[in-house]
Chains A and B, each alone.
Chain A
Amino acid sequence: MTRTRKPGVSRRATLAMMGAGAVTFAAPWVARAQAKTIKVGMPTILSGRVAQLGTSSRNGVMLEIEKVNAAGGLAGRQIEMVIRDSKGQPQEAARVARELVNTDGCEILIDAEASSGAFAVHEVARDLGVLCLHTNSETSALTADPKQHIPNAFRTARQGVHDSIVGGSYAAAIAKAKGLKKWATCSPDYAYGRDTTGEYVTYLKRFAPDIEIISESWPKLFQPDYTEVVTKILQAKPQALYSCLWGGDLTSYIDQANIYALFSQMEVFAVNMADYTALTVVKNLPKGIHSGNRYIKTYPATPENAAWGDAYKAKYNEYPTNWSWENATAIMLLAEASKKANSADGKKIAEALRGLKIKSPFGADGTVTMRAEDQTLVGYAIGWGTTIPQEPYVPQVQAGDWKTIFELEAEWKKSKGYT
């Protein structure tokens, strides 16, 4: 058997080609190592009754992440979101948050949990020292209480006490003008409902001392039927009704109260009405319900805000929610802080975030600020108006005054022993 040299590729040429190939394939690897992606973990609620919280939070985040990545990412590092479902359970939220940092190597956390989960994730952030942005929890104590304060945690959401101050002063003005002295309340029977209603009534009475609460109802969270609550309120014959029911509970309540013609018999103040989740679902939205703004693309009435709302709708085929803007704001702030610090390092970003003021479609004056002292968002658009049954749903929003908010918030903090 003889070995003849066949024409074709020689061994040496093959080796050379393999070498070249290896270099070619390795090259992007080198490039990638230089601009390593930065992983951002996001525990949120993607299943169950409030899955919309998670999906619309995710949408808000992804809409902004695309822009940030297209502009070069965080200090040259592309952002990769790792989003996990906590099923709305606090202990699961804490576990997921820990896993995101320890196992998946996330360097920043976007905590898109409801309040119960947010406090759990907050403890994880305290323990691990990772930069954490709370995007959905509106419970004031999360940032107002100095015991909760840690240098690496921030809140980019609205806050219960701000809402109550603005809502209370708005309602008091109407109460005075229309002589509404007898009030009733109807709110879900859990921490959020009780606290928010309590704060609202406090400020309402502060601005209009002669009002009186003559009836209170506390239906269960997710109660299917509110008939007995509706008729009870009708019996009490108040001149005005406050409610912080939200989502499906609010729409059920409206449908059931509607057929009793409740809305024609009293002024109704429902803080969570002016969110597209509720506005677009209710088929026979009564005219003239007073509501706080949650997210609405016509307030602030700026081209930036309208464009943001439309871009979101074009991409996800539904309107943004209150949670969407709160989460989008987190990414906007991250990107600006990283630019300012010229770094993607959590500690440096945290440093840059304190006191950072950025341009924002959701700002009362076109900007929002991450207040340095308690690391929470201020200056966002906040106001109240009345509903109409079709777009733009809340044509006139009366803006809250941030100067008053700051004054009363400081007073509130003192009364709570926070300062």
Chain B
Amino acid sequence: MPQWMLPLDLDALTGCLASSACLVTQTTSGFIIGMLLFLVAVGLTLIFGVLKVVNFSHGAFYMFGAYFAMTAYQFSGSFALAMLCGAAGTAILGLIFERVFMSRVYGADVLMQLLVCYAFVLIFDDVVRMIWGPEFKSMGMPAAFQVAPLFIAGGVVPPYYLLLIGVALAAAVILGLGLARTRIGKVIRAAAHNPGMVSALGINTGLIYGGVFALGGMLAGLAGALAAPVRSLTPGMGFSVLIESFIVTVIGGMGSILGALIGALLIGMIRSFGSLGFPLFTEGLMYLFMVIVLVSRPSGLFGKEVA
């Protein structure tokens, strides 16, 4: 059997760890995969933390974000506007979705919530198919980013990915600080903890729920918009992202923003370095890691212990 067919390629992995060029390239590669995943997963985890529902249709917001961005970019040619449209459009969509549909099933059985979400996975895919057509699309890289990649310590880093990582990190910091330091953040945390009491204090919990859902949708939409220049757009594109986001939230702990960040980066690094060291087992490695976390810490790395 030739060497490249072995499931384990330690030479490649150790060789890479020893070279600064490879280390830089693979680490940024892990960051790119991880940060986009984080934006989707953090919305999922936020919605779960506050609303206590698992938004199975969350991938659809990622998809809509990408399509909104592509359309805005086609009409305006402005990348910034495309990102804005992707984020704002999905925020509005999230708000409508929560107020009109999800808010009706909060008290219901978990299976009922799952059913509603799954129905909307199919409906949203068909809506995209009707508006944009069934064939795949590509937004194209804006001219400003069609430049040669940077070489940092010998490693290759595309400038667009630096922007992508920066935007995602900024979103993480704003979100974390916003929840911890601002009044709205306090109210949201309070609503997550005891919605009845918050409501009794005269705060409109419906508005908070809608707002959180819109925020979650917006973050997924932003991820979709940021991914649009480099990933092909198809109806159903949200699904594979959703599965990985679930893995991230399971690893990081449902409801924890820091957990989502760490989980997403871990998955990114596993993919990035795993593809070198375990070329035939990269996917498996991700799931294996999830299993190990689940066995040792059932509520995830940063999840609250379930009493």
Contact = CB atoms under 8 A, between A and B. Distances in A.
Interface residues of A, number: 41
Contacts of B282: 228
A307 interface: no
A223 interface: yes
Interface in A232-260: 232, 234-235, 247-249, 251-252, 255-256, 258-260
B138 A229 contact: no
A135 B64 CA distance: 35
Nearest to B16: A235
A235 B22 contact: yes
A231 B29 contact: yes
Contact of A231 (B146, B237, B272): B272
B25 interface: yes
Contact of B33 (A48, A225, A282): A225
B184 to A, nearest CB: 33
Contacts of B237: 224
Contact of B227 (A52, A224, A247): A224
Contacts of B234: 49, 248
B143 to A, nearest CB: 9
Interface string B162-201: 0000000000000000000000000000000000000000
B136 A216 contact: no
B275 A248 contact: no
A222, A225, A227, A248, most chain B CB atoms within 10 A: A227
B82 interface: no
B236 A259 contact: no
Nearest to B143: A284
A214 B145 contact: no
Given A52-B135, A217-B275, A224-B237, A248 B232 contact: yes
A251 B25 contact: no
Given A231-B25, A231-B29, A235-B25, A260 B240 contact: no
B227 to A, nearest CB: 7
Given A260-B149, A284-B141, A214 B135 contact: no
A396 to B, nearest CB: 25
B289 interface: no
Given A49-B236, A256-B231, A227 B156 contact: no
Nearest to B241: A224
B251 to A, nearest CB: 18
Contact of A258 (B12, B141, B233): B141
B136 A251 contact: yes
Interface in B126-158: 129, 134-141, 145-146, 148-149, 156, 158
Nearest to B280: A218
A242 to B, nearest CB: 14
B230 interface: yes
B72 interface: no
Interface in A185-230: 213-218, 220, 222-225, 227-230
Given A51-B134, A259-B141, A234 B25 contact: yes
A235 B229 contact: no
Contact of B232 (A216, A227, A252, A258): A252
A284 B227 CA distance: 16
Nearest to A214: B4
Contacts of B280: 218
A411 B36 CA distance: 49
A283 interface: yes
B113 interface: no
B149 A249 contact: no
B32 interface: yes
B74 to A, nearest CB: 10
A55 interface: yes
A102 interface: no
A308 B134 CA distance: 24
Interface string A15-28: 00000000000000
A256 B22 CA distance: 18
Contacts of A223: 240
Contacts of B236: 48-49
B156 A234 contact: yes
Contact of A255 (B26, B229, B274): B229
A281 B139 CA distance: 9
Contacts of B22: 235
A277 interface: yes
A255 B230 contact: yes
A47 interface: yes
B161 interface: yes
Interface of A: 47-49, 51-52, 55, 213-218, 220, 222-225, 227-232, 234-235, 247-249, 251-252, 255-256, 258-261, 277, 281-284
Leading 9 A-B pairs by shortest Cβ distance: A283-B140, A248-B136, A248-B232, A259-B158, A51-B134, A228-B275, A252-B232, A231-B29, A52-B135
Given A216-B5, A234-B156, 12 more contacts: A51-B129, A224-B231, A225-B36, A228-B272, A228-B274, A231-B25, A232-B279, A247-B136, A248-B233, A260-B158, A281-B136, A284-B140
Interface of B: 2, 4-5, 12, 16, 22, 25-26, 29-30, 32-33, 36, 129, 134-141, 145-146, 148-149, 156, 158-161, 227, 229-237, 240-241, 271-272, 274-276, 279-280, 282-283
29 contacts: A47-B134, A48-B236, A49-B236, A52-B134, A213-B4, A217-B279, A220-B283, A222-B240, A223-B240, A224-B227, A224-B237, A225-B32, A228-B30, A228-B33, A228-B274, A231-B29, A235-B22, A251-B136, A252-B231, A255-B141, A256-B231, A258-B141, A259-B158, A259-B160, A260-B158, A261-B149, A283-B138, A283-B141, A284-B141
